[in-house]
Amino acid sequence: MSFTVIIPARLASTRLPNKPLADIHGKPMVVRVAERAALSGAARIIVATDHASIEDACRQHGIDVRMTRADHPSGTDRIAEVAQALGLAANEVVVNLQGDEPLIDPALLAACASRIGPDVPMATCAHPLTDAGEAFNPNVVKVVLDKAGRALYFSRATIPWARDAFAQSKDILPPGYQPLRHIGLYAYRNDFLQAYPRLDVSPLEGIEALEQLRVLWHGHPIAVHVTGAAPAPGVDTPEDLERVRAQFV
């Protein structure tokens, strides 16, 4: 399947200033992300930014980059602007890859894109959780699926709830119970990507602070590719950056 990867990149970051430009063995992080994306088989890789310094860094390393408005409320709105400017067809697939994922598995991008179809306008990924601490951690987003592999619900709560087992203990996950952790990678059919910014904010996303619940609340399906292992974590803190740098030695 042909798909385009668009990487939204903003300079502002509370925990790691100038994060997209953080050096990883001679190249800015956003460039490292684009290089990983290029291994996915995507038709094109584009960085979407509102800051000239990111634009300059990308151009210096031969990365296609487009400037966007500075007032977008989310990365999804930013990539929608770029997809529209590119004149992508309604049925073309766009993958939204965050600019702080320099260790992303390129195969995951292709797998996510492959879940888009005529009746599936959006897709994402998940992996099984095996640790009880993560299952009960509200910072770890969980998802439950229907028999077709589409999302029924996303939550910070522990879902599904193993009623009888958890009444006895929450220290271990019971046999046969394997919740799924949501991975924040998304693919969209372009016509839906263009419509998404116009969807009303849903009560559920306000409660859970999970933007993807807007899609389910409005009745649109989200297909979920389940991968066997957790992907390498992204970069949010200086400690994360040092860990990633060590991988490029």
pLDDT at 112 over 90: yes
* Mean predicted confidence (pLDDT) in 157-180: 95
Domain locations along the chain:
1-104, 117-182+190-231
* Mean predicted confidence (pLDDT) in 105-119: 97
Q: Which DSSP letter does residue 178 get?
A: -
118: helix, strand or coil: coil
Chain centroid, CA 112 distance in Å = 10
Q: What is the pLDDT of residue 71?
A: 86
220 pLDDT band, cuts 50/70/90, is very high
Q: What is the pLDDT of residue 11?
A: 83
Query: Whole-angstrom Cα distance, residue 171 to residue 59?
Result: 50
Query: Whole-angstrom Cα distance, residue 24 to residue 87?
Result: 33
The residue type found at 130 is T
pLDDT at 161 over 80: yes
* Mean predicted confidence (pLDDT) in 142-147: 98
Task: Pick 53 or 17 by higher pLDDT.
Answer: 53
pTM equals: 0.94
Q: Please choose, from the candidates 222, 5, 215, 227, the residue with its C-alpha nearest in 3D space to the C-alpha of residue 115.
A: 222
Q: Rg for the chain (alpha carbons), in Å?
A: 18
CATH 3.90.550.10 fits 1-104, yes or no: yes
Query: Whole-angstrom Cα distance, residue 96 to residue 90?
Result: 16
> In terms of DSSP bridges, do strands 65-67 and 44-49 run parallel, antiparallel, or are they unpaired?
parallel
* Mean predicted confidence (pLDDT) in 226-232: 92
pLDDT tens column, 53-110: 999 999 999 999 999 988 888 889 999 999 999 999 999 999 999 999 999 999 999 9
193 pLDDT band, cuts 50/70/90, is very high
187: helix, strand or coil: strand
Least confident span in 10-24, 116-130, 202-216: 10-24
Mean pLDDT computed over every residue of the chain: 95
CATH architecture of 117-182+190-231: Alpha-Beta Complex (3.90)
* Mean predicted confidence (pLDDT) in 210-236: 95
Cα dihedral 234, 239, 245, 249 in deg (nearest 10): -130
pLDDT at 249 over 80: no
pLDDT at 43 over 70: yes
Q: Which DSSP letter does residue 231 get?
A: P
10 pLDDT band, cuts 50/70/90, is confident
User: Peptide bond preceding 238: is omega within 30 degrees of 0, i.e. cis?
Assistant: no
Domains 1-104 and 117-182+190-231 share a fold: yes
Residues of the chain with pLDDT > 70, as a percent, come to 99
Q: What are all long-range contacts of 173-177, with beta carbons under 8 Å and residues at least 24 apart? A: 173/129, 173/130, 173/131, 173/132, 173/135
pLDDT at 14 over 80: no
* Mean predicted confidence (pLDDT) in 142-146: 98
| Residue 62, Ramachandran bin (φ over 0: left; ψ between -120 and 50: alpha; else beta) | left
Q: Please choose, from the candidates 115, 108, 95, the residue with its C-alpha nearest in 3D space to the C-alpha of residue 187.
A: 95
